[in-house]
Structure 1
């Protein structure tokens, strides 16, 4: 391993620590950081396990989570019998686009709460604010992602 690899590995671990401190599971954060910092186009689960000195189960769970939110993807590797993974192209915009489903579920739960509370109650006021906020987010995210794409296409 070169000095540049060690510096990159330290930076990746620092990023993983920040992500963990803000709610991401530790192994998921470490796998995400590794996929961000690698110079390899793809990595196998075995390579991730070796690099992170982690169990196959830990890597598998982290990859499932990253794939489910749209940050990582399985990619074909015709010359290999192992599955390969990479950070998804446009991962951050995909993540926010997927958030629309979460926002919709939260909004629906708030609406159900509003229906179950009395007019003028504090609970109804709080739930109405929650619903209104998530309706606002839901309407703003598509335009924000589109502006992001336009910005990226200019650079």
Structure 2
């Protein structure tokens, strides 16, 4: 029993540290806590009721957080056959999945920055800055898919078998 309580305490500390780091990086605090809670569970999945209990949060707060995390494709909602409760879970390779779907966002940011640079003019500091940002996003749009595929290949190579 002492072993379980020390494991639970460690899991709680890691959950809060992860949530704080995600929030510090710009994620909504409750979404950060929900995501961290899923990361630190061995199964990588919890129901809304389990999340509310674990995080001492209202069902409305959990609902908003999971809706956001689903929209940015960081979690998935499933419903086991015959169950009336949704289960929220992580994908097997969460960061790969989250980043591979960012292509359209990067493309929109590139186009927005390019348009802004054109509107403001390349002779202005703001226009030059936006042009440089557009170049960065164009580079990321080109390089990110290959980088992510190299990651996926590294995870399935013979050294991982």
TM-score (structure 1 length as normaliser): 0.92
Does 1:152 find its partner at 2:158?
Answer: no
| Alignment match, 2:124 | 121
| Alignment match, 1:69 | 72
SS of equivalent to 2:76? strand
| Alignment match, 2:143 | 140
Contact kept, 8 Å, 1:42 with 1:84, in 2: the verdict is: yes
Kindly tell me: are residues 57 and 124 of structure 1, through their superposed partners in 2, closer, same or farther at Cα, counting changes over 3 Å? same
| Alignment match, 2:57 | 54
| Alignment match, 1:15 | 18
Kindly tell me: are residues 120 and 41 of structure 1, through their superposed partners in 2, closer, same or farther at Cα, counting changes over 3 Å? closer
Please, what is the CA RMSD of the aligned residues? 1.5
Offset at residue 65 of structure 1 (A): 1.1
SS of equivalent to 2:137? helix
After the TM superposition, which parts of structure 1 deviate over 4 Å for at least 4 consecutive aligned residues?
none
How many pairs are equivalent? 155
Distance 1:101 1:71 in 2: 16
| Alignment match, 1:24 | 27
> Which of 90, 96, 99 is equivalent to 1:96?
99
What per-residue deviation string (whole Å, max 9, x for no partner) do you get for residues 93-123 of structure 1? 1111122222111111112112213352323
SS of equivalent to 1:2? helix
Distance 1:117 1:17 in 2: 38
Offset at residue 90 of structure 1 (A): 1.7
Kindly tell me: are residues 44 and 121 of structure 1, through their superposed partners in 2, closer, same or farther at Cα, counting changes over 3 Å? same
Distance 1:101 1:118 in 2: 25
What per-residue deviation string (whole Å, max 9, x for no partner) do you get for residues 37-96 of structure 1? 112353110110001110001111111111111110012311421111111222101111
TM-score (structure 2 length as normaliser): 0.89
